[in-house]
Amino acid sequence: MMMTKELEGEKLFWYQFLRTKFQIIINNNEEIKYVTDGQILRIDHNKDPQKPPEILNNLEQIKYLQWHGQYGQNLKKVGKWKTSWKGQILKNIGGQYTEDGKKIGAWRELRSNYTEQAQVYEVGEYFDDQRIGEWKYFFGDQEIGGGDYNEQGLKDGNWIDLSELFQKDKQITYNGMYNFGKKIGRWTECLRQNGYQSFTEIGGGYYDNQGKELKVGIWIELIDFRKDKQVTFNGLYQNGYKIGRWNILSDEYLSDSFEIMYQYYETFVLSGGGSYDQQGLKNGKWIELNDSFFIGNNIKYCGEYKKSEKVGIWDLYWSDDRQAKLIGGGLFEIENGQLKNGNWIDSSDNFEKFRQITNNGVYKNGKKFGQWKTYWRESAKDNFIYCSGGNYHQFEFGIKEGKWTELNETFTKSNQTIYEGEYKNNKKVGRWNILLRRDHSLLEKIGGGNYNYENGLKQGKWIELWDNFRDDSQVTYNGEYKNGQRIGRWDIYYREILGENFELIGGGSYDMQKQGIKQGNWIELSDTFSNWSQTIYQGQYLNSMKVGKWEEKKRDCYAFSKRFVKKREMFFEV
């Protein structure tokens, strides 16, 4: 039996995380495929089909993380296991399994949300597959949290926990007491912007002392922050439910203690909020932040709730310098649950100051119907202009059908790339072209390829854009797909100026039999490769693992010579 799930993850684009969709295809509980835009990123095999497969939902880990070790006769992990990231073994990461597949002894594990920007490790000891004693959290080489597990493997005593979204530029911790795995008493929320500062208390509240881990009393919960401003959600908990008025506030500084925050209320800017009833349900007028709210996004929705379901007209505002401007919205109907109906203007998933994109069209019973159009504007001073669009099926609502043009997920003023092709039953099929928009109208074809009509996977020759493609980093990858995986020779091309020819700058080969596996000599670009920072890495791959000597080379973008000069050597062992 085959099962397909669509999930939402995040992709890294020039130090910023953008929301993106990908699919997981599970075949008979044995094979797990991770697919995005017709490319198979990874195939895992479940060694024990009697048990549910281990599923990854972190897109960076799907692309770059691998475990290395042996399985015993009982299909359980045994002995020493190691971890690699981007084809490089991570030093001292991993630990030992017993013959019956249980973790034992000292372990150094990657945190569940480990990414390039969130290199957090958890270090401690296992006994009989259960954490015991002291465990420490490290960000890079710096200890930033942790606490003790009791004999039952439950957190106990004082702990410093990390936010699920903890990363380099968003370092948030929660400090407080556990009692047999349940939070009790006062917990504080602290943050810092980088590793050179100390953590500063910015919020928190109290849990009950009855072992139920229920929030009680006044709480201040961080939503987001920037260098000189925090955005918090502030109000009252009763038996674990939010009740009464809750305000979304932003301030210009960090107060010394959340307990005295209300003494400085006049310095806070009311940014939104609304009221909860005694059952913890939203009712009445609300101003809410977008689900993907971050500094620079500043999307707000204004409308009414009845028993936590949106009803009537909801307006969509974008605020710039504290001036809220109406840019969209539409109608919710509640007959069959809160569903969008009629004409709507939605914001794009990654809407922000330099990526102001809206999608305009009609909903029927909560699903998109008929023609939808995508609009973009360069700044708040400009008008929205039509950029792309297509049609949803007339009878099967929410299903894309026929000719479509779509904006790249990273579309901005400096990356105006558009995809053009055909959908059949919500899958891309046939030829799709990649177009670069210049001077607001002129379109240049810079890439593309074919999708299989049966399964929607990429097939044959393709020219693809680098993940960080933009005007000052115009890089393409040219090669061949077979059943959604790269095979054979792939070349990397680069050009400095729009309209010029691309130059061959790197590349390498994928195994013809083991699809998607890098083999042999490769020249790769640094993650920050651009006109102003031209760094490449040259070396050998063996089964997608870096081996032996690799060289880092750079060239001066201002120099007459275009030769890359060796700067250092690195050595890798599997």
d(CA 81, CA 68): 6
d(CA 453, CA 410): 26
pLDDT at 568: 95
d(CA 564, CA 289): 48
302 to 11, 245, 333: CA distances (angstroms): 29, 16, 15
- For residue 213, the one-letter residue type is E
Are the C-beta atoms of 546 and 571 separated by less than 8 Å?
no
d(CA 540, CA 519): 7
d(CA 6, CA 4): 7
Collapsing DSSP states into helix, strand and coil, what is residue 62?
A: helix
Q: What is the DSSP code (8-state) at residue 411? A: -
d(CA 475, CA 502): 8
Are the C-beta atoms of 340 and 310 separated by less than 8 Å?
no
Q: What is the DSSP code (8-state) at residue 63? A: H
Q: How many CA atoms lie within 13 A of 329 on its CB side?
A: 21
CA dihedral 365, 366, 372, 378 (to 10 degrees): 150
Angle at 28 between CA 27 and CA 31, to 5 degrees: 45
Are the C-beta atoms of 217 and 244 separated by less than 8 Å?
no
> Nearest to residue 339, comparing CAs of 330, 351, 327?
330
98: Cβ–Cβ under 8 A, 6 or more apart, which residues? 78, 104
d(CA 487, CA 388): 32
d(CA 18, CA 409): 8
395: Cβ–Cβ under 8 A, 6 or more apart, which residues? none
List residues bridging with 303 in a β-sheet. 286
d(CA 11, CA 59): 7
pLDDT at 259: 38
For residue 70, how far is the Cα from the chain centroid? 31
Angle at 563 between CA 560 and CA 569, to 5 degrees: 140
Q: What is the pLDDT along the chain (574 residues), one digit of tens a residue?
A: 678 888 777 777 776 777 888 899 988 878 899 999 999 999 998 887 777 888 888 889 999 999 999 999 888 899 999 999 999 999 899 999 999 999 999 999 999 889 988 999 999 999 999 999 999 999 988 999 999 999 999 999 999 999 988 888 889 999 999 999 999 999 999 988 777 788 889 899 999 988 899 999 999 998 876 555 678 899 999 999 999 999 998 764 433 333 333 333 334 466 789 999 999 999 999 999 876 545 456 788 999 999 999 999 999 998 765 677 899 999 998 776 789 999 999 999 888 887 899 999 999 989 999 999 999 998 878 899 999 999 999 888 999 999 999 999 889 888 999 999 999 999 999 999 999 987 667 789 999 999 999 999 999 999 999 999 999 999 999 999 999 999 999 999 999 988 889 999 999 999 998 889 999 999 999 999 999 999 999 999 999 999 999 999 999 877 767 889 999 999 998 7
Element (H, E) at 59: helix 59-64
